[in-house]
Protein backbone atom coordinates (compact mmCIF):
# COMPACT_ATOMS: atom_id res chain seq x y z
CA UNK A 1 0.00 0.00 0.00
CA UNK A 2 2.86 2.38 0.86
CA UNK A 3 4.60 1.50 -2.43
CA UNK A 4 1.38 2.27 -4.29
CA UNK A 5 0.95 5.60 -2.47
CA UNK A 6 4.53 6.61 -3.23
CA UNK A 7 4.13 5.63 -6.87
CA UNK A 8 1.00 7.75 -7.12
CA UNK A 9 2.77 10.66 -5.47
CA UNK A 10 5.83 10.29 -7.75
CA UNK A 11 3.77 10.17 -10.94
CA UNK A 12 1.78 13.23 -9.87
CA UNK A 13 5.00 15.09 -9.02
CA UNK A 14 6.39 14.37 -12.51
CA UNK A 15 3.17 15.57 -14.10
CA UNK A 16 3.13 18.77 -12.07
CA UNK A 17 6.80 19.44 -12.78
CA UNK A 18 6.12 19.14 -16.50
CA UNK A 19 3.34 21.73 -16.19
CA UNK A 20 5.07 24.13 -13.80
CA UNK A 21 7.08 26.34 -16.16
CA UNK A 22 5.71 29.21 -18.17
CA UNK A 23 2.15 30.39 -18.61
CA UNK A 24 -0.90 28.18 -18.79
CA UNK A 25 -1.00 26.45 -22.16
CA UNK A 26 -4.78 26.72 -22.36
CA UNK A 27 -6.23 30.17 -22.72
CA UNK A 28 -8.49 31.12 -19.83
CA UNK A 29 -7.32 28.27 -17.63
CA UNK A 30 -6.69 29.15 -13.99
CA UNK A 31 -3.79 27.62 -12.04
CA UNK A 32 -3.86 27.31 -8.25
CA UNK A 33 -1.13 26.10 -5.93
CA UNK A 34 -2.01 24.28 -2.70
CA UNK A 35 0.35 23.44 0.19
CA UNK A 36 -0.09 21.24 3.24
CA UNK A 37 1.85 19.00 5.59
CA UNK A 38 1.06 15.43 6.52
CA UNK A 39 1.87 11.77 6.05
CA UNK A 40 1.54 9.76 2.83
CA UNK A 41 -2.06 8.78 3.65
CA UNK A 42 -3.08 12.45 3.97
CA UNK A 43 -1.24 13.32 0.78
CA UNK A 44 -2.95 10.58 -1.21
CA UNK A 45 -6.37 11.50 0.19
CA UNK A 46 -5.85 15.19 -0.62
CA UNK A 47 -4.56 14.46 -4.11
CA UNK A 48 -7.61 12.27 -4.75
CA UNK A 49 -9.97 15.04 -3.61
CA UNK A 50 -8.16 17.63 -5.73
CA UNK A 51 -8.42 15.35 -8.78
CA UNK A 52 -12.19 15.30 -8.25
CA UNK A 53 -12.20 19.10 -8.07
CA UNK A 54 -10.29 19.38 -11.35
CA UNK A 55 -12.75 17.00 -13.00
CA UNK A 56 -15.72 19.06 -11.79
CA UNK A 57 -14.03 22.39 -12.64
CA UNK A 58 -11.96 21.69 -15.78
CA UNK A 59 -11.01 25.36 -16.12
CA UNK A 60 -8.85 25.07 -12.97
CA UNK A 61 -5.52 23.26 -12.70
CA UNK A 62 -4.21 22.61 -9.18
CA UNK A 63 -0.51 22.23 -8.44
CA UNK A 64 0.22 20.55 -5.12
CA UNK A 65 3.01 21.08 -2.60
CA UNK A 66 2.73 18.40 0.09
CA UNK A 67 5.48 18.20 2.70
CA UNK A 68 6.38 16.91 6.13
CA UNK A 69 5.66 19.20 9.09
CA UNK A 70 9.30 20.04 10.04
CA UNK A 71 10.27 23.16 8.12
CA UNK A 72 6.77 23.71 6.69
CA UNK A 73 6.28 27.16 8.21
CA UNK A 74 9.88 28.25 7.55
CA UNK A 75 9.35 27.50 3.86
CA UNK A 76 5.91 29.13 3.84
CA UNK A 77 7.25 32.30 5.45
CA UNK A 78 10.05 32.47 2.88
CA UNK A 79 7.52 32.06 0.08
CA UNK A 80 5.37 34.86 1.46
CA UNK A 81 8.43 37.11 1.69
CA UNK A 82 9.37 36.41 -1.93
CA UNK A 83 5.85 36.61 -3.33
CA UNK A 84 5.73 32.89 -4.16
CA UNK A 85 3.31 31.71 -1.46
CA UNK A 86 0.64 29.17 -2.44
CA UNK A 87 -2.91 30.27 -3.22
CA UNK A 88 -4.38 27.88 -0.64
CA UNK A 89 -2.48 26.46 2.31
CA UNK A 90 -2.94 24.39 5.43
CA UNK A 91 -2.62 26.50 8.57
CA UNK A 92 -2.84 26.38 12.34
CA UNK A 93 -1.58 29.91 13.13
CA UNK A 94 -4.43 32.05 11.92
CA UNK A 95 -3.85 35.15 14.03
CA UNK A 96 -0.15 35.32 13.16
CA UNK A 97 -0.85 35.38 9.41
CA UNK A 98 -3.94 37.56 9.71
CA UNK A 99 -1.97 40.17 11.67
CA UNK A 100 0.45 40.42 8.74
CA UNK A 101 -2.37 40.93 6.25
CA UNK A 102 -1.56 37.66 4.47
CA UNK A 103 -5.00 36.03 4.63
CA UNK A 104 -8.00 36.56 2.40
CA UNK A 105 -11.23 37.43 4.21
CA UNK A 106 -13.28 34.34 3.40
CA UNK A 107 -16.41 35.98 4.78
CA UNK A 108 -16.43 38.23 1.71
CA UNK A 109 -17.15 35.16 -0.46
CA UNK A 110 -20.37 33.92 1.08
CA UNK A 111 -21.75 33.21 -2.39
CA UNK A 112 -18.90 30.72 -2.92
CA UNK A 113 -18.03 29.33 0.52
CA UNK A 114 -20.83 27.50 2.31
CA UNK A 115 -20.39 27.49 6.08
CA UNK A 116 -23.89 26.57 7.31
CA UNK A 117 -22.93 22.92 8.01
CA UNK A 118 -19.64 23.72 9.75
CA UNK A 119 -20.92 24.96 13.10
CA UNK A 120 -20.21 28.24 14.85
CA UNK A 121 -17.84 26.54 17.31
CA UNK A 122 -15.49 25.76 14.39
CA UNK A 123 -15.86 29.08 12.59
CA UNK A 124 -15.12 31.05 15.77
CA UNK A 125 -11.63 29.56 15.89
CA UNK A 126 -10.75 31.22 12.58
CA UNK A 127 -12.55 34.53 13.09
CA UNK A 128 -10.41 37.63 13.75
CA UNK A 129 -12.10 40.98 14.45
CA UNK A 130 -15.30 39.69 12.91
CA UNK A 131 -13.63 38.41 9.73
CA UNK A 132 -13.44 34.74 8.77
CA UNK A 133 -9.75 34.27 8.01
CA UNK A 134 -9.56 30.49 7.73
CA UNK A 135 -11.85 27.48 7.96
CA UNK A 136 -11.43 24.08 9.62
CA UNK A 137 -10.10 21.20 7.53
CA UNK A 138 -10.76 18.64 10.28
CA UNK A 139 -11.29 18.14 14.00
CA UNK A 140 -8.97 16.95 16.76
CA UNK A 141 -10.61 17.39 20.17
CA UNK A 142 -8.72 15.96 23.12
CA UNK A 143 -9.87 12.56 24.36
CA UNK A 144 -8.80 9.97 26.89
CA UNK A 145 -7.37 6.96 25.05
CA UNK A 146 -6.85 3.69 26.86
CA UNK A 147 -6.16 0.00 26.35
CA UNK A 148 -9.08 -1.91 27.94
CA UNK A 149 -7.09 -5.11 28.41
CA UNK A 150 -4.45 -3.32 30.47
CA UNK A 151 -7.08 -1.61 32.61
CA UNK A 152 -8.80 -4.94 33.17
CA UNK A 153 -5.51 -6.50 34.26
CA UNK A 154 -5.46 -3.99 37.13
CA UNK A 155 -9.13 -4.43 37.95
CA UNK A 156 -10.04 -0.93 36.80
CA UNK A 157 -12.89 0.47 34.71
CA UNK A 158 -12.24 3.32 32.31
CA UNK A 159 -12.37 6.78 33.94
CA UNK A 160 -15.41 8.89 33.13
CA UNK A 161 -16.15 12.61 32.77
CA UNK A 162 -17.17 12.55 36.43
CA UNK A 163 -13.76 11.26 37.59
CA UNK A 164 -11.70 14.01 39.22
CA UNK A 165 -8.06 14.50 38.31
CA UNK A 166 -7.14 13.43 41.83
CA UNK A 167 -9.13 10.18 41.54
CA UNK A 168 -7.69 9.67 38.06
CA UNK A 169 -4.17 9.93 39.49
CA UNK A 170 -5.08 7.51 42.26
CA UNK A 171 -6.52 4.99 39.77
CA UNK A 172 -3.42 5.27 37.57
CA UNK A 173 -1.21 4.72 40.62
CA UNK A 174 -3.12 1.54 41.46
CA UNK A 175 -2.92 0.34 37.86
CA UNK A 176 0.83 0.92 37.67
CA UNK A 177 1.47 -1.85 40.20
CA UNK A 178 -0.28 -4.42 37.97
CA UNK A 179 1.51 -3.62 34.70
CA UNK A 180 4.53 -5.44 33.26
CA UNK A 181 7.96 -3.83 33.38
CA UNK A 182 8.47 -1.32 30.58
CA UNK A 183 4.78 -0.36 30.55
CA UNK A 184 3.35 2.56 32.49
CA UNK A 185 -0.17 3.40 33.57
CA UNK A 186 -0.29 6.85 32.03
CA UNK A 187 1.60 9.01 29.55
CA UNK A 188 3.18 12.18 30.97
CA UNK A 189 1.12 15.20 29.85
CA UNK A 190 3.19 17.83 31.67
CA UNK A 191 4.70 19.28 28.45
CA UNK A 192 1.55 18.96 26.32
CA UNK A 193 -0.03 22.38 25.79
CA UNK A 194 -3.40 21.08 24.57
CA UNK A 195 -3.69 18.87 27.66
CA UNK A 196 -2.84 21.79 29.94
CA UNK A 197 -5.48 23.86 28.13
CA UNK A 198 -8.21 21.37 29.05
CA UNK A 199 -7.07 21.49 32.69
CA UNK A 200 -7.15 25.31 32.66
CA UNK A 201 -10.54 25.52 30.94
CA UNK A 202 -12.05 23.22 33.56
CA UNK A 203 -11.03 25.95 36.05
CA UNK A 204 -12.69 28.67 33.96
CA UNK A 205 -9.36 29.88 32.57
CA UNK A 206 -7.44 29.43 29.31
CA UNK A 207 -4.03 29.91 27.76
CA UNK A 208 -4.59 33.58 27.01
CA UNK A 209 -6.82 36.45 28.07
CA UNK A 210 -9.80 37.30 25.87
CA UNK A 211 -7.92 40.18 24.22
CA UNK A 212 -4.79 38.06 23.71
CA UNK A 213 -2.56 40.55 25.52
CA UNK A 214 -1.75 38.43 28.58
CA UNK A 215 -1.69 34.88 29.86
CA UNK A 216 -5.12 33.67 30.89
CA UNK A 217 -3.89 31.84 33.99
CA UNK A 218 -1.69 32.45 37.01
CA UNK A 219 1.69 31.01 37.89
CA UNK A 220 -0.04 28.92 40.58
CA UNK A 221 -2.09 27.09 37.96
CA UNK A 222 1.06 26.02 36.14
CA UNK A 223 2.67 24.97 39.43
CA UNK A 224 -0.39 22.84 40.24
CA UNK A 225 -0.23 21.18 36.81
CA UNK A 226 3.48 20.42 37.00
CA UNK A 227 3.22 19.11 40.57
CA UNK A 228 0.46 16.69 39.54
CA UNK A 229 2.74 15.09 36.94
CA UNK A 230 5.91 15.29 39.04
CA UNK A 231 4.18 13.25 41.75
CA UNK A 232 3.17 10.62 39.19
CA UNK A 233 6.71 10.52 37.80
CA UNK A 234 8.16 10.03 41.27
CA UNK A 235 5.81 7.06 41.81
CA UNK A 236 6.67 5.45 38.47
CA UNK A 237 3.12 5.89 37.20
CA UNK A 238 4.25 7.75 34.07
CA UNK A 239 7.41 7.03 32.05
CA UNK A 240 10.72 8.61 33.03
CA UNK A 241 11.78 11.75 31.13
CA UNK A 242 14.09 9.93 28.73
CA UNK A 243 11.10 7.90 27.46
CA UNK A 244 8.74 10.89 27.29
CA UNK A 245 11.12 13.51 25.89
CA UNK A 246 11.25 12.03 22.39
CA UNK A 247 7.70 13.18 21.71
CA UNK A 248 7.70 16.42 23.70
CA UNK A 249 8.51 18.49 20.62
CA UNK A 250 5.76 16.93 18.54
CA UNK A 251 7.35 13.78 17.10
CA UNK A 252 4.25 11.57 17.25
CA UNK A 253 6.15 8.45 16.20
CA UNK A 254 8.13 8.63 19.46
CA UNK A 255 5.06 9.02 21.66
CA UNK A 256 4.66 6.30 24.32
CA UNK A 257 1.04 5.91 23.19
CA UNK A 258 2.06 5.14 19.60
CA UNK A 259 4.58 2.65 20.98
CA UNK A 260 1.91 1.13 23.26
CA UNK A 261 4.09 1.69 26.31
CA UNK A 262 1.25 3.18 28.37
CA UNK A 263 -2.25 2.08 29.36
CA UNK A 264 -3.85 5.55 29.17
CA UNK A 265 -3.19 9.03 27.84
CA UNK A 266 -4.76 12.30 26.81
CA UNK A 267 -4.61 12.38 23.01
CA UNK A 268 -5.87 14.27 19.97
CA UNK A 269 -8.37 12.41 17.81
CA UNK A 270 -6.79 13.34 14.46
CA UNK A 271 -3.53 11.56 15.29
CA UNK A 272 -3.32 7.99 14.03
CA UNK A 273 -2.85 5.23 16.59
CA UNK A 274 -2.17 1.52 16.16
CA UNK A 275 -5.40 0.10 14.82
CA UNK A 276 -6.03 -2.36 17.61
CA UNK A 277 -6.64 -2.13 21.33
CA UNK A 278 -7.25 1.60 21.83
CA UNK A 279 -10.57 3.03 23.00
CA UNK A 280 -11.63 6.69 23.20
CA UNK A 281 -13.60 8.45 25.92
CA UNK A 282 -14.07 11.70 27.84
CA UNK A 283 -11.32 13.16 29.99
CA UNK A 284 -11.39 13.38 33.80
CA UNK A 285 -12.93 16.50 35.30
CA UNK A 286 -15.24 17.20 32.36
CA UNK A 287 -18.59 16.76 34.10
CA UNK A 288 -18.63 19.95 36.16
CA UNK A 289 -17.15 22.28 33.54
CA UNK A 290 -16.04 20.84 30.20
CA UNK A 291 -12.52 21.88 29.23
CA UNK A 292 -12.51 20.01 25.95
CA UNK A 293 -13.79 21.90 22.93
CA UNK A 294 -14.40 20.91 19.32
CA UNK A 295 -10.86 21.80 18.45
CA UNK A 296 -9.81 22.06 14.84
CA UNK A 297 -6.89 19.91 13.77
CA UNK A 298 -5.72 22.16 10.92
CA UNK A 299 -7.38 24.74 8.70
CA UNK A 300 -7.51 25.91 5.11
CA UNK A 301 -6.49 29.51 4.44
CA UNK A 302 -6.29 31.52 1.22
CA UNK A 303 -3.41 33.85 0.32
CA UNK A 304 -4.63 37.46 0.37
CA UNK A 305 -2.58 38.15 -2.78
CA UNK A 306 -3.84 35.23 -4.84
CA UNK A 307 -4.56 36.19 -8.43
CA UNK A 308 -7.62 33.95 -8.40
CA UNK A 309 -9.49 34.50 -5.13
CA UNK A 310 -12.86 33.11 -6.24
CA UNK A 311 -11.37 29.92 -7.63
CA UNK A 312 -9.20 29.51 -4.51
CA UNK A 313 -12.25 29.86 -2.25
CA UNK A 314 -14.14 27.52 -4.58
CA UNK A 315 -11.49 24.86 -3.99
CA UNK A 316 -11.73 25.32 -0.21
CA UNK A 317 -15.51 25.04 -0.41
CA UNK A 318 -15.19 21.84 -2.43
CA UNK A 319 -12.79 20.25 0.06
CA UNK A 320 -15.14 21.09 2.93
CA UNK A 321 -18.57 20.52 1.47
CA UNK A 322 -18.52 18.20 -1.54
CA UNK A 323 -19.69 14.67 -0.60
CA UNK A 324 -17.27 12.96 -2.99
CA UNK A 325 -14.37 15.05 -1.71
CA UNK A 326 -15.41 14.18 1.83
CA UNK A 327 -15.34 10.50 0.96
CA UNK A 328 -11.88 10.82 -0.59
CA UNK A 329 -10.48 12.77 2.37
CA UNK A 330 -12.06 10.52 5.00
CA UNK A 331 -10.52 11.11 8.43
CA UNK A 332 -7.12 12.15 7.05
CA UNK A 333 -7.39 15.39 9.05
CA UNK A 334 -9.72 14.07 11.72
CA UNK A 335 -13.52 13.92 11.59
CA UNK A 336 -14.79 16.40 8.96
CA UNK A 337 -16.23 19.59 10.51
CA UNK A 338 -19.15 19.43 8.07
CA UNK A 339 -21.64 17.42 10.11
CA UNK A 340 -23.47 16.08 7.04
CA UNK A 341 -20.24 14.79 5.50
CA UNK A 342 -19.17 13.29 8.84
CA UNK A 343 -22.49 11.43 9.08
CA UNK A 344 -22.21 10.17 5.51
CA UNK A 345 -18.84 8.58 6.27
CA UNK A 346 -20.03 6.55 9.27
CA UNK A 347 -21.20 3.41 7.42
CA UNK A 348 -17.80 2.94 5.77
CA UNK A 349 -15.58 3.58 8.80
CA UNK A 350 -13.61 0.83 10.49
CA UNK A 351 -14.36 0.24 14.21
CA UNK A 352 -11.65 2.55 15.53
CA UNK A 353 -12.46 5.44 13.22
CA UNK A 354 -16.15 4.99 14.02
CA UNK A 355 -15.56 5.41 17.74
CA UNK A 356 -13.60 8.61 17.00
CA UNK A 357 -16.56 9.89 14.97
CA UNK A 358 -18.91 8.84 17.77
CA UNK A 359 -16.79 10.72 20.30
CA UNK A 360 -16.96 13.90 18.19
CA UNK A 361 -20.75 13.45 17.97
CA UNK A 362 -20.80 13.12 21.77
CA UNK A 363 -18.95 16.43 22.06
CA UNK A 364 -21.44 18.11 19.73
CA UNK A 365 -24.22 17.42 22.24
CA UNK A 366 -25.03 20.36 24.57
CA UNK A 367 -23.06 20.31 27.80
CA UNK A 368 -20.42 17.82 26.68
CA UNK A 369 -17.86 20.35 25.46
CA UNK A 370 -16.90 23.93 26.17
CA UNK A 371 -17.17 26.99 23.94
CA UNK A 372 -14.37 27.48 21.45
CA UNK A 373 -11.58 29.79 22.62
CA UNK A 374 -10.52 32.81 20.62
CA UNK A 375 -7.63 32.25 18.19
CA UNK A 376 -4.23 32.39 19.86
CA UNK A 377 -2.46 35.76 19.73
CA UNK A 378 0.70 36.34 17.74
CA UNK A 379 3.44 34.52 19.61
CA UNK A 380 0.98 31.95 20.94
CA UNK A 381 2.75 29.01 19.31
CA UNK A 382 6.09 30.08 20.77
CA UNK A 383 4.58 30.24 24.25
CA UNK A 384 2.45 27.09 24.11
CA UNK A 385 4.94 24.85 22.39
CA UNK A 386 8.48 26.18 22.70
CA UNK A 387 8.39 27.76 26.17
CA UNK A 388 6.26 25.07 27.78
CA UNK A 389 8.41 22.26 26.37
CA UNK A 390 11.70 23.90 27.38
CA UNK A 391 10.70 24.75 30.94
CA UNK A 392 9.01 21.39 31.49
CA UNK A 393 12.19 19.65 30.37
CA UNK A 394 14.18 21.81 32.77
CA UNK A 395 12.07 20.27 35.55
CA UNK A 396 12.41 16.76 34.15
CA UNK A 397 16.18 16.88 34.02
CA UNK A 398 16.81 18.79 37.25
CA UNK A 399 17.84 22.12 35.74
CA UNK A 400 15.12 23.96 37.70
CA UNK A 401 12.55 23.18 40.35
CA UNK A 402 8.86 23.73 39.66
CA UNK A 403 8.67 27.18 41.26
CA UNK A 404 11.75 28.40 39.37
CA UNK A 405 10.49 27.04 36.07
CA UNK A 406 7.05 28.60 36.57
CA UNK A 407 8.57 32.00 37.36
CA UNK A 408 10.78 31.84 34.27
CA UNK A 409 7.93 30.68 32.05
CA UNK A 410 5.60 33.51 33.09
CA UNK A 411 8.31 36.15 32.68
CA UNK A 412 9.25 34.95 29.20
CA UNK A 413 5.64 34.56 28.10
CA UNK A 414 4.89 38.14 29.20
CA UNK A 415 7.82 39.36 27.09
CA UNK A 416 6.61 37.47 24.01
CA UNK A 417 3.09 38.87 24.36
CA UNK A 418 4.44 42.37 24.97
CA UNK A 419 6.62 42.14 21.87
CA UNK A 420 3.68 40.96 19.78
CA UNK A 421 1.24 43.66 20.91
Q: What SS3 class is residue 359? A: helix
CB 229 within 8 A of CB 238: yes
Asked if 249 contacts 171 with a C-beta cutoff of 8 angstroms, the reply is: no
Say if CB 129 and CB 212 are below 8 A apart.
Answer: no
How far is Cα 410 from Cα 421, in angstroms, rounded to an integer? 16
Is 142-292+379-420 in the same CATH topology as 2-137+298-364? yes
DSSP string, 290-336: ------BS-EEEEBTT-S-HHHHHHHHHHHHH-HHHHHHHTTBTBS-
Q: pLDDT tens digits, residue range 210-267?
A: 889 999 999 999 999 999 999 999 999 999 999 888 655 455 666 788 788 999 999 8
pLDDT of the residue at 15: 37
CA 17 from centre of chain: 31
Distance between CA 232 and CA 236 in Å, rounded? 6
Nearest 5 degrees, angle CA 299-CA 300-CA 306? 150
Q: What is the pLDDT of residue 270?
A: 85
| Cβ-contact 1, 41 below 8 angstroms | no
**Which residues, given as ranges, of the chain have pLDDT below 70?**
1-27, 246-254, 274-276, 420-421
CA distances from 23 to 31, 73, 229, 404, 420 (A): 9, 27, 58, 59, 40
Q: Residue 231's pLDDT is what? A: 97
Helices (H), 83-164: 94-99, 120-123, 148-153
- Prediction pTM value: 0.86
142-292+379-420 is classed CATH 3.40.190.10 = yes
Residue 296, φ and ψ in degrees, nearest 5:
-75, 145
**Which letter does DSSP use for residue 399 in this model?**
S
Q: Is 302 within 8 Å of 143 (Cβ atoms)?
A: no
Structure confidence at residue 420 (pLDDT): 65
Q: What is the pLDDT of residues 357-371, one digit of tens each?
A: 999 999 999 999 999
| Sequence-distant (≥ 6) Cβ neighbours of residue 380 within 8 angstroms | 93, 95, 96, 207, 208, 212
CB of 342 within 8 A of CB of 270?
A: no
Q: Could you read off the pLDDT of 65-78 as tens digits, one per residue?
A: 999 998 999 999 99
What is the pLDDT, as a whole number, of residue 202? 97
Strand partners, 66: 36
Using DSSP's 3-state secondary structure scheme, residue 73 falls into helix
Please, are residues 101 and 304 in contact by the beta-carbon 8 Å criterion? yes
Query: Residues of 136-157 as b/e, b for ≥16 C-beta within 10 angstroms?
Result: bbbbbbbbbbbbeebbeebebe
Q: What is the pLDDT of residues 11-43, one digit of tens each?
A: 444 333 333 333 343 457 999 999 999 999 999
Do residues 140 and 38 make contact, with C-beta atoms less than 8 angstroms apart? Answer: no
Contact (Cβ atoms closer than 8 angstroms) between residue 178 and residue 151: no
DSSP for 152-214, please give it: HHTT-PPP-TT--HHHHHHHHHHHHTTSPTT-EEE---TT-HHHHHHHHHTTT--SB-TTSSS
Can you tell me the distance from the alpha carbon of 192 to that of 200, in angstroms, rounded to the nearest whole number?
A: 12
Which of the four CATH numbers 3.30.1330.10, 2.60.40.10, 3.40.190.290, 3.40.190.10 does domain 2-137+298-364 have?
Answer: 3.40.190.10
Report domain extents, the chain: 2-137+298-364, 142-292+379-420
Supply the mean pLDDT for the chain.
90
Amino acid sequence: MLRSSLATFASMTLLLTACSSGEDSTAGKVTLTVAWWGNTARTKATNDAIALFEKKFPNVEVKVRPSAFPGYYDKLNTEFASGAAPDVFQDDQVRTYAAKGLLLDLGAYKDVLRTDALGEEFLAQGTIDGKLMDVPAGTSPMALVYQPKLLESGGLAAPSAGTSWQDFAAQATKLAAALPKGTWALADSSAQHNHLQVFLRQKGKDWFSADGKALGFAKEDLVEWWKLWADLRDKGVVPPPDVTSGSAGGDVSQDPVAAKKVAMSVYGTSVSLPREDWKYGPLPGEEARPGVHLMRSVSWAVNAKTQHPREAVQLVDFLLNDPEAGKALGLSRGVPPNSAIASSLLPGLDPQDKQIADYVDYLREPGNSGAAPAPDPTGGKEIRSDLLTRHTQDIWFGKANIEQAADAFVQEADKVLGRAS
